[in-house]
Amino acid sequence: MEDLDTQVLRAAQAWHAAGLPVLLVTVTRTWGSSPRPPGSLMAINGRGETVGSVSGGCIEDDLIRRVREEGLDAVCAQGRPATLRYGISADQAHRFGLPCGGTVELVLEPVAAHSQLAQLLQANLERRSTQRRLDLRSGAVDLQPGRRDGVPELTDDTLVTHFGPRYRLILIGAGDLSRFLSQMALSLNFEVIVCDPREEQRASWTLEGATLSHEMPDDLVLRLQPDARTAVVALTHDPKLDDLALIDALQSEAFYVGAIGSRRHTALRRDRLREHFGLGEAELDALHGPAGLYIGSKTPAEIALSIMAEVVAAKNGIQRATPVPVAEGKTAWLDGGAAPADLPAICSV
């Protein structure tokens, strides 16, 4: 399953290749409450078919109607990009289903050969972050290496948007917890790679959509070179597998690195990584351990939910102190005398 931006770009490219008129619609700015954030994409073809969204549905309905009844020239004069706002007045807000006072600004771009959608899709496939600069006067597009994320930047004559590769989750260890984590990550449009060199673990592990690797975990991490859209989670409880992968992951650009285990085992892991492998305090502080947010989870599915919630929080830029992490939640729980000092590993989150 591809992420939504890729689905939109791929549909727009395919429709254009088939000879259909196509609009690429980008949410550039919002004021007040809005259903979709800046950077959201939608593609509309001349038949009124769409992929993606820019609102809860009513703006899409209006754009589809205009394209079907009046053609692309009605919204993009002379085939050039156009800027459009919805929800400026209270009447428009009510008409288009926007919250009171909400305003959505869109850039509508006719897709053409110079839109460079194929090149942009290839960059995403190669995990290269890209800055896309659209000339609003001519429709010409320039692609340059860029940062992985960012809100659109709109001026009178230019729209700059940012595209990055699909988010990726590397799981060390194939088991029940990995299966639940993989299912959740796939539903969130992550690419999932499960690594386990143990044949007996791999023999019963199957999940459509996830890639299963039999490499040693540290070899896999070194080969993939985790970028800023990659998370790595160690799940085996075996230092020979987990620790070596964590060493390389903590020295990469991965936005999240975590490992399961009790608080005692987490402290022992930090000591090993510091004393035997020379990791510094900054690298050790980047390790989420025990992995996950504290939700009182006990079953593999609940533990997976806890870990995936922390991964998504990190992905979305939520500071670690904002959610309650596992160690803090456990401390508060244990202070109430509700549990033993060192929980079994399966209850670590």
Band of residue 248 on the pLDDT scale cut at 50, 70, 90: very high
Q: What is the pLDDT of residue 98?
A: 57
- pLDDT band at residue 317, thresholds of 50, 70 and 90? confident
CA distance 81 to 99: 27
Q: What is the pLDDT of residue 3?
A: 83
Q: Where are the domains of the chain?
A: 4-162, 168-316
Kindly report the number of other CB atoms within 10 A of residue 156's CB atom.
7
| Average pLDDT rounded to a whole number, residues 36-57 | 89
CATH topology of domain 168-316: Rossmann fold (3.40.50)
Average pLDDT over residues 237-241: 91
336 pLDDT above the threshold of 60 = no
Q: State the average pLDDT over residues 33-44.
A: 85
pTM as predicted: 0.79
Buried b (16+ CB within 10 A) or exposed e, 52-75: bbbbeebbbebbbebbeeeebeeb
Q: Does position 101 have pLDDT exceeding 80, yes or no?
A: no
Q: Residue 95: its pLDDT value, please?
A: 63
pLDDT at 148: 72
Residue 99 has pLDDT above 70, yes or no: no
Q: What is the average per-residue pLDDT within 284-293?
A: 93
Residue 228 has a CB neighbour count (10 Å cut-off) of 16
pLDDT tens for each residue of 122-175: 999 899 999 999 999 999 999 999 877 778 999 999 999 999 899 999 999 999
Average per-residue pLDDT for the chain: 86
